[in-house]
Amino acid sequence: MNSALDLPLLRFALVYILLLAVLWLMKKARIHKTALLITASMRMTVQLILAGLLLTWIFKHPHPLLTLGYVCAMVLFAIHRVLSQHRGLNKRFQWVVAASLAGSGLAVLLFFVCLVVGVNITEAQYTIPLGGMIIGNAMTGLSLALNTFEQNLAANTNRLASLLNWGAHPQDIVRPMANAALETALLPTINSMLGTGIVWLPGMLTGQILAGTLPTTAILYQIAIMIAICAVVCLAVFCSLYFGCHTLYDKHYRLILANPPKE
Amino acid sequence: MNTLFSLRTVRQHGLCYPDIDIAEGCTSFITGASGCGKSSLFCLLNGTAQAESGTIVYRSRPIEDYEPLALRREVLLVGQQVFLFDGSIQDNFATFYEYRHKPCPSAATMLAMLALCQLDMPLHTACAHLSGGERQRVYVALFLSLQTPVLLLDEPSAALDAHTAHAMLGALHAHCQARGASLLVISHDVSLAQRYAHTHIALPTPHKEQNHE
């Protein structure tokens, strides 16, 4: 098998023609997200170029601290992304989310790299890409779950007030909404498991095949990473919401749902 | 008669409440203009809100001394905003009781509570098909079935016609009197208050509003 052909920059640039086609269609259909698409594609280009340069440098100068530092930076960025999208959460809830994301992301990554793949966690070639997939998916899942959870709380003020007056424990009142959010967060992962291999070949599998890995080896990695992603989403969301629920009521069992308005 | 609640110099959300005493085992009506803090008063009494200053005494102990959930389960507030789950009337009883980790009452009890609220309907009726007034009565019947020593009703007859409102309040009044329970009702309907109230508390119109007018 051949490893992936080098992509000359000029031919690589051809792919941006597709982007122009999308932009043209969006303009025609009067979709007002053209600015966002341009920003997003430019950011993606710049971020990936930087990541490519950085990874090349790290692979040339391997050092355990560099690998760990890279992973830590990924975790911190993921936490920042999630929290910046959910400013309505109270301070304690934000800490719970940060700890859950970091804890479950690192735990699953450690398990995957050390036990499943069987290499040292400081091995940049494995830890960094796998860490990106695991932590990135945890971030997306958590963000989705928190969106659903916050929307549910906001849309159900009547239900919350009624059950509170009914004398139900605040934890019991909020728990079904937390469970619904966990379900919502897991659905995309589960759905992608259902479709995988029939219609589409997932990114990591495609990448490995392009790089010349035997498909039989590549699918093992793919199956493993999909289960790891499912696990990390489940763990991060469950911990965030399960422990986060406790921050939603005070010692008088009154619900405190939003940040107090700033004066 | 023992005093159930007494309020002294209570302030909340910029409103000053008058000093109020409510006797145990009575039916008391609370009336007043919109925005005078009637619903907020009920939230203070069941402990879902806290007064900014002043003292509220319940059965001769300050309200903060009580375990919050226990107090809320004893001083039961039936709010103005009706909430029912999807499903039948019976399902609603079952779900609500599940939230209290209590066994669902028998069909006979449920029907008796509905009858007190002037609602004659089979238990398998889907709540989605009920009218606003019917939903409100199912809601009150649910809370009534807990048989608490104190029941706070916030505008229980808002969605009812005058005849049904009188029949329901009359039945609830008689039921609570027979059990020795205290009933507190917020209502705009003065005729209801005149008919059933042992005590009628008229909250003053807040100064804030007077300035606006």
What pLDDT, in 10s, does the model give residues B115-136? 999 999 999 999 999 999 999 9
pLDDT surpassing 80 at residue A260: no
Whether residue A256 is contained in a domain is answered as no
- Residue A236: closest CA among A97, A44, A126: A97
- Count of CB pairs separated by less than 8 Å, A with B: 52
Same domain, yes or no: A164 and A209: yes
DSSP code per residue over A226-242: HHHHHHHHHHHHHHHHH
Domain ranges of chain B: 3-212
- Mean pLDDT over residues B148-168, rounded? 92
Q: Are residues A48 and A96 in the same domain?
A: no
The answer to whether A164 faces chain B, any CB pair under 8 Å, is yes
Residues B134/B135/B136/B139 CA torsion (nearest 10 deg): 120
For residues A47 and A118, state if they share a domain: no
On whether residue A226 sits in a domain, the answer given is yes
B44, B76, B83, best to mutate vs chain A, most A CBs in 10 Å: B83
- For residue B158 the two structure tokens come to 């808002």
Q: Is A244 found in the same domain as A137? A: yes
More confident: B72 or B15: B72
Average pLDDT of span B57-81: 92
> Is A259 a domain residue?
no
Contact A166 B96 (CB under 8 A): yes
Total domains in the fold of chain A? 2
pLDDT score for A77: 94
Cα A177 from chain centroid? Answer: 21
* Chain A residues lying within 8 Å of B73, measured CB to CB: 167
Residues A38 and A84 in one domain: no
Q: Which of B50, B69, B139 sits opposite A169 (nearest CB)?
A: B69
Radius of gyration of chain A (CA): 22
Judge if A48 and A80 occupy the same domain: no
Asked whether residue A125 falls in the same domain as residue A235, the answer is yes
Q: Average per-residue pLDDT in chain B?
A: 90
Cα A24 to Cα B22: distance, rounded to the nearest angstrom: 72
Judge if A12 and A114 occupy the same domain: no
Structure-block tokens of residue A158: 């009547």
Nearest to B137 by CA among B175, B110, B177: B110
Phi, psi of A8 (to 5 degrees): -65, 145
The pLDDT of residue A101: 97
Mean pLDDT of chain A: 90
**A196 and A124, same structural domain?**
yes
Strands B75-78 vs B150-154: parallel, antiparallel or unpaired: parallel
| Tokens 């970091």 sit on residue | A102
* Residue-level pLDDT at A263: 34
Q: Contacts of residue B48 in chain A, CB cutoff 8 Å?
A: 164-165, 254
Find the domain containing A43 and state its range. Answer: 1-61
- How would residue B15 be classed by pLDDT, with cut points 50, 70 and 90? confident
| Predicted confidence (pLDDT) at residue A164 exceeds the cutoff of 80 | yes
Are residues A89 and A217 part of one domain?
yes
Put simply, the answer to whether B69 touches A162 (Cβ < 8 Å) is: no
State the residue for tokens 């259902």: A194
Q: Which residue of B has its CA nearest to A254?
A: B48
Shared domain for A39 and A12, answered yes or no, is yes
Q: Over 50: is that where the pLDDT of A38 sits? A: yes
- Which A residues 230-259 touch B at CB under 8 Å? 251-254
The CATH number of whichever domain residue A213 belongs to comes to: 1.20.1640
User: CB neighbours of A75 closer than 8 A, spacing ≥ 6?
Assistant: A101, A102, A105, A106, A135
A175 at the B interface (CB within 8 A)? no
pLDDT, one tens digit per residue, over B179-209 is: 999 999 999 888 888 888 888 988 888 765 4
A51-90 pLDDT, tens digit each: 999 999 999 998 999 999 999 999 999 999 999 999 888 8
Q: Reply yes or no on whether the pLDDT at B102 is more than 90.
A: yes
CATH of B3-212, one of 2.60.40.1080, 3.10.200.10, 3.40.50.10490, 3.40.50.300: 3.40.50.300
Whether residue A181 is found in the same domain as residue A233: yes
Q: What are the structure tokens assigned to A109, written together?
A: 């990554």
- Is residue A155 within 8 angstroms of chain B, CB to CB? no
pLDDT digits (tens, 9 = 90+) for A230-255: 999 999 999 999 999 999 998 888 88
Whole-number pLDDT of residue A261: 42
Averaged pLDDT, A32-38: 86
* Residue A213 scores a pLDDT above 50: yes
Beta strand B150-154 with B182-186: parallel, antiparallel or unpaired?
parallel
Q: How many residues does chain A have?
A: 263
Instruction: Flag whether A46 is in a domain.
Output: yes
Cα-Cα-Cα-Cα dihedral of B19, B24, B30, B35, to 10°?
60
ipTM attached to this prediction: 0.91
| Tens digit of each residue's pLDDT (9 = 90 or more) over B110-120 | 999 999 999 99
**Which of B184, B172, B109 lies closest to B140, judged by CA?**
B172
Average pLDDT, integer, range A103-121: 94
Q: What is the DSSP letter of B66?
A: S
Helix, strand and coil percent figures for chain B, each rounded to 5: 40, 25, 35
Residue A182, Cβ density class (10 Å: 0-12 exposed, 13-18 middle, ≥19 buried):
buried
What's the pLDDT at A72?
95
Please tell me which residue of chain A has the smallest CA distance to B78.
A165
Residues A127-147: what's their mean pLDDT? 94
Averaged pLDDT, A149-153 = 92
What residues contact residue A124 under an 8 Å CB cut-off, 6+ apart? A55, A58, A59, A62, A66, A67, A70
Pairing of strands B3-12, B15-16: antiparallel
Beta carbons within 8 Å of A140's beta carbon, 6+ residues apart: A233
Q: What are phi and psi of B185, to 5 degrees?
A: -130, 130
Interface test with A, best of B13, B45, B48 (most A CBs within 10 A): B48
CA distances from B119 to A117, A126, B87, B129, B166 (A): 66, 68, 17, 14, 13
CB contact under 8 A, A164 and B72: yes
More confident residue, B12 or A109: A109
